[in-house]
């Protein structure tokens, strides 16, 4: 993909297609006026005669009939200028981009009127995220290949170039996470994730993987208990980004269930196919490492961890009533084998705190269905033990296109996990307040000195209906943007 920045002057635009944003009831931008004039006031006429209204997200295509180098102009309605928000703008823009992507247009210029800095970075990311398609398994590929994208902006400087590089890094990382999440479980197995992790090895990043036998020996039996019903070998993957000098360590731990059938507490068949995405948290760890391997944040060591396995009802499977001893020493009575993510994460958390002693620890997981009921598919649910870090993470997300909402956690949620026969049970009150209570289970394994946050992406990691064109249905890559920005902001 080729990127270019140009000033918004018609004589400079030689791309075949231009996306031209137009506000309703507002003066045209300079570029729109110039084009309108060259086309004998065609755009003005179209609006005056009501062939098209520049309502938010409405597009209308016109052709220049050799009067310009640009052949096709996609008029993009932005609605009322007074009512526009970043979110509305991004949704409208992504509408136009994905429309062009559908008809396989490979050269696009887009006018980004008055957009700069943070918003410019976000907007370019939105643009690239709107081009995403998942069609590896179609015999007829329709990927956006050999494309040229020209951003028309008023101020082009060194910073602009930097911003564009950064946004490409973010968008590629997110789109690759989407790929991982969208691939089915017969292709993305725990072993495959381990192989993929090894590709991150470089001077600053080391990669270690542990198989199920090793994990059993090391005492991560809560984790391995989940994998017993499957023929696939469980894998713990540790990616360690260690710059020469660092004074902080952060660990990002991802749930990597390559398939969650529920185990012996089998899930209903309806929508079970979606459970190929239960490794989305693990995929986010890959996304974070893809980005930081290029951005190389200073002064911070990042330990990325993925707990990968399958939850299936095989003959060796974990059974309700079983009691398992965790890495931390606490015993857990299994009431429901479908509450497996917390078992995997609990052991990973205690292991990482024990061996790496990070100052910050963030786990990210498609942990509960309850989060979908609480927050829908837009928001990441956030729980943690350090309000300052929570505030910072939310503030960072607010400057982007990701949304985070804090959920409560207190003593009562912890009490749900009392067991008559073991130290803890694994379901508490189940779905009632389920996202908070799952987090309370995890907190049982967190050292209170560690600044811990838990991101439940059960709702945001995959969507079954496209409501925003930059988030096409399927895997979304939710979490990558905020986590990478958080790491970069730790300095």
Kindly tell me which of 166 and 342 has the beta carbon lying closer to ligand BES: 342
Report if residue 339 touches ligand BES, rule: CB under 6 A. yes
- Which of 10, 369, 394, 403 binds ligand BES (CB under 6 A)? It is 369
CB of 308 to Zn ion, least distance (A): 12
Is residue 485 within the footprint of ligand BES (CB under 6 A)?
A: no
Q: Is residue 219 at the binding interface for ligand BES, with CB under 6 A as the rule?
A: no
Residue found under tokens 């292991």: 351
Q: Which x/- pattern over 278-297 shows residues binding Zn ion (rule: CB under 5 A)? A: x-------------------
Could you say which of ligand BES, Zn ion, none residue 390 binds, taking C-beta under 5 to 8 angstroms by partner kind? none
Catalytic residue among 267, 319, 399, 403: 267
Contact 414, 324 (CB under 8 A): no
Is residue 338 a contact point for ligand BES (CB under 6 A)? yes
Sole binder of ligand BES in the list 282, 458, 472, 477 (CB under 6 A): 458
Angle made by CA atoms 37, 43, 48, in degrees to the nearest 5: 120
Is-catalytic flag, 69? no
Longest dimension (CA), the chain: 83
Non-local (6+) Cβ contacts of 176 within 8 A are 286, 287, 290
Per DSSP, the three-state class of 481 is: helix
Alpha-carbon Rg of the chain, whole angstroms? Answer: 24
- Is 105 exposed, middle or buried (CB count within 10 Å of its CB: 0-12, 13-18, 19+)? middle
Question: Is 79 among the residues that bind Zn ion (CB under 5 A)?
Answer: no
Of these, 8, 341, 358, 474, which contacts Zn ion (CB under 5 A)? 341
Pick from 112, 5, 8, 18: which is nearest to 64 by CA?
A: 18
Residue in 166, 192, 342, 468 annotated catalytic:
342
Q: Is residue 347 within the footprint of Zn ion (CB under 5 A)?
A: no
| Contact yes or no for 431/51 (Cβ under 8 A) | no
Q: Please provide the distance, in angstroms rounded to a whole number, between the alpha carbons at the two ends of the chain.
A: 32
Tell the smallest beta-carbon distance from residue 40 to ligand BES (Å).
55
- What secondary structure letter does DSSP report for 236? E
Span from 157-165, 339-347, 382-390, 403-411 in contact with ligand BES (CB under 6 A) = 339-347
Q: DSSP secondary-structure letter at 51?
A: S
Stretch that binds Zn ion, among 95-103, 190-198, 257-265, 279-287 (CB under 5 A): 257-265
User: Is residue 342 annotated as part of the catalytic site, yes or no?
Assistant: yes
Angle at 234 between CA 229 and CA 240, to 5 degrees: 160
Paired strand residues for 463 = 474
**What tokens does 120 get?**
């410019």
**Which one of ligand BES, Zn ion, none is in contact with 370 (Cβ closer than 5 to 8 A by kind)?**
ligand BES
What is the size of the binding site for ligand BES (CB under 6 A)? 17
Residue 458 binding result from ligand BES, Zn ion, none, given CB thresholds of 5 to 8 Å by partner type: ligand BES
Out of 36, 260, 347, 485, which residue is the one contacting Zn ion (CB under 5 A)?
A: 260
CA–CA gap between residue 365 and residue 348 (Å, rounded): 12
Residue pointed to by tokens 């993987």 = 209
> How many other β-carbons are positioned within 10 Å of the β-carbon of residue 2?
9
Nearer to ligand BES, 104 or 467 (CB): 467
Q: How many residues bind Zn ion (CB under 5 A)?
A: 6
* Interface with ligand BES, residue 240, by CB under 6 A: no
State which residue, 278 or 363, has the beta carbon closest to Zn ion.
278
DSSP secondary-structure letter at 104?
T
Residue 326 per-residue DSSP state: -
338 binds Zn ion (CB under 5 A): yes
The tokens of 456 are what?
């439940």
Compare residues 251 and 368 and give the one whose CB is closer to ligand BES. 368
Residue 248's φ and ψ, nearest 5 degrees, are -135, 150
Residue 430 lies near ligand BES (rule: CB under 6 A): yes
Residues that bind Zn ion (CB under 5 A): 257, 260, 278, 338, 340-341
| Residue numbers annotated as active site | 267, 342
- Give the residues lining the site for ligand BES (CB under 6 A): 260, 278, 336, 338-341, 366, 368-370, 372, 427, 430-431, 434, 458
């Amino acid at each position: 993909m080729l990127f270019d920045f140009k000033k918004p002057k018609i004589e400079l635009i030689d791309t075949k297609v231009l996306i031209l944003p137009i506000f309703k009831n507002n003066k045209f931008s300079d570029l729109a006026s110039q084009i309108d004039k060259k086309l004998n006031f065609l755009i003005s006429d179209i609006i005056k005669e009501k062939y098209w209204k520049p309502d938010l997200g409405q597009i209308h295509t016109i052709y220049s009939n050799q009067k310009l180098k640009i052949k096709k102009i996609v008029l993009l309605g932005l609605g009322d200028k007074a009512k526009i928000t970043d979110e509305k703008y991004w949704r409208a823009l992504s509408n136009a981009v994905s429309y062009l992507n559908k008809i396989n247009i490979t050269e696009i210029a887009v006018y980004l009127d008055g957009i700069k800095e943070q918003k410019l970075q976000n907007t370019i990311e939105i643009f690239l995220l709107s081009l995403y398609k998942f069609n590896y398994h179609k015999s007829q590929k329709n990927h956006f290949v050999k494309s040229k994208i020209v951003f028309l902006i008023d101020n082009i400087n060194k910073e602009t170039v930097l911003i564009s590089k950064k946004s490409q890094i973010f968008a590629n990382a997110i789109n690759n996470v989407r790929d991982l999440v969208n691939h089915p479980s017969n292709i993305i197995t725990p072993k495959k994730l381990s192989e993929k992790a090894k590709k991150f090895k470089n001077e600053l990043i080391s990669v270690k993987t542990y198989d199920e036998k090793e994990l059993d020996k090391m005492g991560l039996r809560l984790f391995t208990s989940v994998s017993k019903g499957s023929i696939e070998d469980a894998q713990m993957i540790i990616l360690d980004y260690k710059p020469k000098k660092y004074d902080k360590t952060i660990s990002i731990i991802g749930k990597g269930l390559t398939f969650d059938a529920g185990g012996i507490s089998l899930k209903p068949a309806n929508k079970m196919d979606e459970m190929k995405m239960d490794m989305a948290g693990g995929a986010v760890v890959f996304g974070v490492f893809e980005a930081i391997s290029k951005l190389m944040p200073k002064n911070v060591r990042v330990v990325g961890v993925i707990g990968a396995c399958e939850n299936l009802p095989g003959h060796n499977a974990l059974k309700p009533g079983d009691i398992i001893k965790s890495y931390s020493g606490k015993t857990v009575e299994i009431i429901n084998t479908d509450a497996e993510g917390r078992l995997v994460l609990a052991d990973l958390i205690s292991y990482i705190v024990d061996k790496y002693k990070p100052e910050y620890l963030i786990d990210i997981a498609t942990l509960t269905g309850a989060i979908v009921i609480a927050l829908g598919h837009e928001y990441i649910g956030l729980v943690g033990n350090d309000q300052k870090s929570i505030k910072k993470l939310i503030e960072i997300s607010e400057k982007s296109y990701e949304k985070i909402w804090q959920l409560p956690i207190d003593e009562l949620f912890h009490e749900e996990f009392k067991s008559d026969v073991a130290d803890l049970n694994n379901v508490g009150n189940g779905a009632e307040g389920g996202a908070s209570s799952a987090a309370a289970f995890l907190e049982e394994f967190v050292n209170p000195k560690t600044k811990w946050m838990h991101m439940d992406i059960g709702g945001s990691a995959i969507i079954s209906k496209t409501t925003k064109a930059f988030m096409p249905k399927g895997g979304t890559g939710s979490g990558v943007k905020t986590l990478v920005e958080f790491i970069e902001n730790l300095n």
